[in-house]
């Protein structure tokens, strides 16, 4: 009977013990991250701890924008609720690639995910890092269906959406665009570069390096969204297909379709990778193609002072201080406010400020959006009045092309008035009028000096010996000037040929430097630097030949004087490569290099 009772109690005790599978699922594997908030450029420590024999395989989580690196492993004995258990830990360095709030999946389906907040450098969040509380909840996910304009890759891991506000633009016009990269959590392991436009006809300006980060559910799956904003410009007219692309690394599962469908039922990407073997694969995600029509700027109605500004602008001007003295510098300030390509807004209108003495203006730009499409450009020019009185500064004007109205517009500022007083130094040192001598007191210094050795009462006007007086010194001075002029003339005739050859030597050295830059750019496969160096080398050669400054050698002069289409095309490619990223292969670069060397040989033979 006692034996039976002992058997019953043993069975009860065994039934009260947790099953091995339950023990493995509950509280045996957990993860921590320290600190939970860092600044971009720093790293956090992610620790995965396994209580037990430590034989379970662990796969690193995959979170777009975070890089996981195993830096250490350890084994130890832990005492939990009076029970001694062996444990093993994996220490992982987590390095963010962009700023934002990242959700790290739980290491088991029943554990909560961890959140890592990454602040941009210099932000208020970074300054308050030591006092901020770590986030304890993942970001809110919203949305369930595929939004309009999104085309997922075949495996459903990513997409790229390009948003362009209009389909018809003008050459040189700057338009804001948006590029959104969606990466499915757990399937995209890294972003391998910034988004870019395909084709050589487009240029991206002011592309932000720190995208906006958010999370969203698409067809029930969590996606991390990275959004870049930039401005687009086109360098030549025509109709072109417009697409964007971005390089990514995705995790491709090697299990069968039936096994992969079973993995998807777990829902957690970490748990999917735990059961499924994956392999990394580099892919390029492209946005759907859009057609963009580019128009030439009209010639009709183009103002003479138009310099390429396209958009919508307003003009204001003021002067400070509102009054001053002759010779005292004042500041004329001009503000151009609006939206458009501010890089083509110049200060040419400030060159016509008569009769003031002016100095070169300086400019600053204050942007009101991330891509510098809207804002205010300020020009400040020092000016000096040459005469006293109430002076009027004429109204300034600025011309631009308005793409919404499809016509040129000219805006004007108001005329400015400023009161100029005579200079204080001039008023204090003014000489008396000739008729005022009678009222001056008469003394021996105003009437002349009476020498003590002279006979009679004659007064001597000066005690200076005659040979030192001005009328006697004039003749020697004239002789010295004539001799000096003769010497200068002889030296000038002797050095004229030497000066010309010296100028040619300087031009030759400058040409050699530009040719070296051109060769280095060709070897590096940099077309932009190659064509820029080639144009500058040709400018040095032709400037020495035509006896002008290198900056005065333009494509129009080359066509007029030489009629050489190859040289003219080099000048055009140099301008185009700055905006469109003009790309050529090594064969083309070699052909254009021979064109430049041929012109150098012609100049050397002269």
Cis peptide before 359 (omega within 30 of 0): no
- Note the pLDDT of residue 80: 53
- Note the pLDDT of residue 202: 84
Q: In Å, how far from its chain's centre is CA 449?
A: 78
pLDDT at position 405 over 70:
yes
**Between 219 and 294, the higher pLDDT residue:** 294
- In sequence order, what are the beta bridge partners of 335? 316, 378
Question: Per mean pLDDT, which range of 40-54, 96-110, 202-216, 445-459 is the poorest?
Answer: 445-459
User: What is the C-alpha to C-alpha distance for residues 326 and 424, in angstroms, rounded to an integer?
Assistant: 9
pLDDT at position 338 over 90:
yes
pLDDT at position 310 over 90:
yes
Question: Per mean pLDDT, which range of 242-246, 507-511, 519-523 is the poorest?
Answer: 507-511
Q: Which helix (H) or strand (E) holds 600?
A: helix 586-604
Tokens of 310: 């396209």
User: What is the C-alpha to C-alpha distance for residues 581 and 432, in angstroms, rounded to an integer?
Assistant: 71
User: What is the C-alpha to C-alpha distance for residues 235 and 173, in angstroms, rounded to an integer?
Assistant: 9
| Mean pLDDT confidence for 452-462 | 51
**Between 333 and 86, the higher pLDDT residue:** 333
User: What is the C-alpha to C-alpha distance for residues 203 and 194, in angstroms, rounded to an integer?
Assistant: 14
Question: Per mean pLDDT, which range of 49-58, 144-153, 472-481, 497-506 is the poorest?
Answer: 497-506
- Note the pLDDT of residue 74: 77
pLDDT in tens, 10-65: 444 444 444 444 443 444 677 888 888 898 888 898 888 876 655 555 667 888 88
Residue the block writes with tokens 């050698």: 553
pLDDT at position 496 over 70:
no
H helices present in 202-320, as ranges: 257-264, 269-275
Phi then psi for residue 413, to 5 deg, are -95, 170
Tokens of 440: 């001056």
**Residues in the chain, overall count:** 606
Read off the pTM. Answer: 0.50
- Note the pLDDT of residue 400: 95
Nearest C-alpha neighbor of 88 from the set 98, 67, 73 = 73
**Between 110 and 211, the higher pLDDT residue:** 211
User: What is the C-alpha to C-alpha distance for residues 599 and 515, in angstroms, rounded to an integer?
Assistant: 12
User: What is the C-alpha to C-alpha distance for residues 20 and 29, in angstroms, rounded to an integer?
Assistant: 14
- Note the pLDDT of residue 79: 54
| Mean pLDDT confidence for 195-203 | 84
- Note the pLDDT of residue 180: 92
pLDDT at position 168 over 90:
yes
| Mean pLDDT confidence for 229-240 | 89
Nearest C-alpha neighbor of 231 from the set 211, 209, 207 = 207
Following DSSP, what letter does each residue of 207-259 receive, concatenated?
--SS-EEEEEEETTEEEEEEEEEEEEEESS-EEEEE-EEEEEEEEEE-S-HHH
Question: Per mean pLDDT, which range of 214-223, 316-325, 458-467, 534-543 is the poorest?
Answer: 458-467
pLDDT in tens, 546-598: 888 877 888 777 877 777 777 877 887 776 665 555 556 667 777 788 888 88
């Amino acid at each position: 009977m006692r034996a039976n009772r002992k058997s019953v109690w043993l069975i009860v005790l065994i039934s009260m013990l947790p099953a091995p599978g339950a023990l493995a699922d509950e509280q045996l594997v957990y993860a921590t991250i320290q600190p939970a908030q860092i600044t971009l450029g720093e790293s956090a420590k992610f620790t995965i701890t396994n209580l037990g024999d430590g034989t379970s395989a662990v796969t690193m989580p995959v979170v777009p924008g975070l890089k996981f690196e195993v830096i250490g492993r350890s084994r130890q004995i832990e005492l939990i609720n009076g029970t001694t258990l062996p444990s093993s830990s994996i220490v992982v360095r987590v390095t963010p690639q962009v700023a934002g709030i990242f959700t790290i999946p739980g290491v088991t389906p029943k554990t909560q995910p961890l959140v890592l907040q990454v602040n941009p450098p210099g932000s208020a969040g970074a300054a308050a890092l030591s006092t901020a509380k770590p986030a304890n909840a993942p970001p809110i996910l919203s949305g369930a269906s595929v939004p309009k304009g999104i085309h997922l890759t075949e495996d459903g891991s990513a997409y790229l959406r390009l948003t362009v506000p209009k389909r018809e633009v003008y050459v040189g016009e700057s338009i804001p665009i948006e590029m959104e990269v969606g990466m499915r959590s757990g399937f995209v392991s890294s972003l391998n570069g910034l988004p870019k436009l395909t084709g050589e006809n487009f240029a991206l300006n002011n592309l932000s390096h720190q995208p906006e980060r958010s999370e969203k559910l698409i067809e029930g799956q969590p996606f991390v969204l990275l959004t870049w904003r930039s401005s687009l410009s086109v360098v030549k007219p025509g109709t072109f297909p417009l697409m964007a692309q971005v390089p990514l690394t995705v995790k491709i599962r090697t299990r069968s379709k039936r096994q992969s469908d079973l993995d998807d039922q777990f829902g957690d990407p970490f748990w999917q990778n735990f059961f499924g073997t994956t392999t990394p694969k580099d892919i390029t995600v492209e946005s759907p193609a859009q057609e963009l029509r580019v128009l030439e700027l009209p010639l009709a109605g183009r103002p003479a002072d138009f310099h390429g500004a396209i958009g919508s602008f307003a003009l204001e001007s003021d002067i400070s201080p509102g009054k001053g003295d002759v010779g005292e510098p004042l500041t004329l300030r001009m503000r151009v406010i609006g939206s458009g390509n501010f890089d083509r807004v110049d200060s040419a209108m400030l060159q016509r400020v008569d009769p003031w003495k002016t100095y070169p203006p300086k400019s600053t730009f204050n942007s009101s959006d991330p891509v510098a499409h809207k804002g205010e450009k300020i020009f400040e020019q020092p000016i000096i009045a040459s005469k006293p009185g109430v002076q009027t500064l004429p109204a300034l004007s600025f011309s631009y092309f308005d793409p919404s109205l499809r016509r040129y517009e000219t805006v004007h500022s108001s005329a400015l008035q400023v009161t100029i007083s005579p200079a204080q130094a001039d008023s204090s040192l003014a000489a008396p009028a000739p008729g005022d001598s009678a009222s001056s007191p008469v003394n021996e210094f105003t009437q002349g000096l009476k020498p003590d050795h002279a006979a009679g009462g004659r007064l001597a006007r000066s005690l200076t010996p005659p040979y030192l007086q001005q009328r006697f010194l004039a003749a020697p001075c004239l002789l010295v000037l004539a001799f000096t002029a003769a010497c200068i003339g002889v030296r000038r005739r002797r050095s004229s040929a030497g000066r010309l050859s010296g100028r040619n030597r300087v031009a030759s050295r400058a040409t050699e430097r530009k040719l070296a830059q051109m060769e280095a750019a060709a070897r590096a496969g940099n077309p932009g630097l190659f064509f820029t160096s080639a144009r500058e080398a040709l400018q040095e050669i032709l400037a020495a030949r035509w006896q002008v400054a290198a900056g005065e050698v333009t494509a129009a002069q080359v066509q007029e004087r030489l009629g050489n289409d190859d040289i003219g095309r080099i000048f055009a490619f140099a301008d185009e490569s700055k905006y469109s990223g003009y790309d050529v292969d090594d064969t083309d670069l070699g052909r254009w290099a021979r064109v430049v060397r041929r012109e150098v040989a012609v100049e050397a033979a002269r």
